[in-house]
Amino acid sequence: MSQLGERWLRAAYRGDAWLAALRPLELLYRWGVRRRAAAYASGRKPVWRAPVPVVVVGNLTLGGTGKSPLVAWLVEHLIGQGWRPGILSRGYGGQGAVYPQLVEATTPATVCGDEPRMLADQTGVPVVVDPERPRGARRLIEVGCDILVSDDGLQHLALGRDLELVVVDGVRGFGNGRCLPAGPLREPLSRLESIDAMLVNGAPRIALPSDGRRMALVPSGWRRLADGRRYPIDETPFTGPVHAVAGIGRPARFFDTLRGLGVEVIPHPFGDHHLFRADELCFEDGRPLVMTAKDAVKCRDLAPDDSWVLEVEALPEPAFVDWFDDWLAGAGAMPPR
C-alpha cells in the first residue's frame, strides 16, 4: 500500500470527518458487493464445492488482523488430529507465478508472495497460490490434501466453504464502520450474521458487535536470519536499541510487541507486502536489525548479518479449540484413516 493509502487507512480507522465526502461512492460499492453476493447465491455465478472440508479464514477490514498466524495454528492443530491439510492463498506481492502455483522449497517470495512463502516454511504443508480459488483447491486435492484452509478467502465466493472464521483486530475493531472508500470495511458489518465464528485478536479496547472468541499473538522465539539459529523468547540475543522494520498491515503492532519484550525500538514502518531493497535494511550505526517472519522471507539475501526475526504464534482460547473440534466431529468431517 502506498503512503497515501496508509494515510487514508489511518483516517478510516479514526473516523476522520472528511471521509463523509466519500459516502456516495460507498453506496455504489455496497451495491456492487450485494449484487456480487446475490449472483453467487442465486447460481448465476458458479460456486465450486470441494469433496473435502474447506475452512476459510478472513476479515472484513483492510489491514492486518492476524489471519496468517491463525491459519498456521489451524494447520498444526489439524495435523495433530491426523489430517493432511493444505493452504490456499491469493499470493499478494508475488509476480510471475504460473497458476496454480505450488510453493516449492525453492520458490522465492517474489514469485509466490510473502505470506504463502512464510506459511510454507512454518507449517511444511502444501501451499498453493491461485487467484482462482477453485482451481487452486483442486491442485491441493491432487497432491493429497484432505482438508483445505483458505487464507484471506472470505470474499472469494467462487469456492464453497464449510466454515467461515473472521479475525478482528481488538484495538482497531471495524474502524468507522463504513465500507470502502469511506471506511476500511470490505463488506458491511451485516456480513457477521452469516459467519461461523469471530476471533478477536487481543483484548478489545473498543466496543465490538459481538464478544466473539479470544485469540492472542504470542511471541515464541528469536531466529537469526543468517543461519536460522533460534533462541527462547526470554533470552534476547542482542542488546541496546535495534532497528525494527515491518512491511505488514499494521507495523505499530510489531513495534509495540518488541517494546513489550523490553526491546528499545527505532521503528521503520513500510506498507503491507513491501518489496524491500538492500539499502532499506542497512544502517550505518551497526545496531541489530529485527523484522517479522513475513518480511524475513523477502530479506534473506538482503539483510545484514546481525538481523533477527521475531517469531509469533496464534493462541486461541480453549473455548474456541473445543468449538472447532466439535465442529469437525459434528460435521462428520473425520480424517481418513
Cα(4)–Cα(36) distance, integer angstroms: 28
Which residue is listed with cell 523484522? 291
Strand, helix or coil for residue 297: helix
Cα(89)–Cα(103) distance, integer angstroms: 10
Within 10 angstroms of residue 214's Cβ, the number of other Cβ atoms is 18
Q: Kindly report, residue by residue over 25-36, the tens digit of the pLDDT.
A: 999 999 999 999
What residue spans of the chain are helical by DSSP H? 3-14, 23-42, 67-80, 109-112, 114-123, 133-142, 251-260, 293-299, 318-330
Q: Kindly report, residue by residue over 119-165, the tens digit of the pLDDT.
A: 999 999 999 999 999 999 999 999 999 999 999 999 999 999 999 99
> Which residues lie closer than 8 Å to 130 by C-beta, 6 or more apart?
88, 90, 91, 99, 100, 101, 136, 139
> Which residues lie closer than 8 Å to 3 by C-beta, 6 or more apart?
271
Q: Kindly report, residue by residue over 193-225, the tens digit of the pLDDT.
A: 999 999 999 887 777 766 678 899 899 999 999
Q: Kindly report, residue by residue over 281-332, the tens digit of the pLDDT.
A: 999 898 999 999 999 999 988 999 999 999 999 999 999 999 999 999 886 5
Structural domain boundaries in the chain: 3-214+316-330, 217-315
CATH of region 3-214+316-330, choose from 3.30.70, 1.10.287, 3.40.50, 3.30.1370: 3.40.50
Which residue is listed with cell 532499506? 280
Rounded to two decimals, what is the model's pTM? 0.93
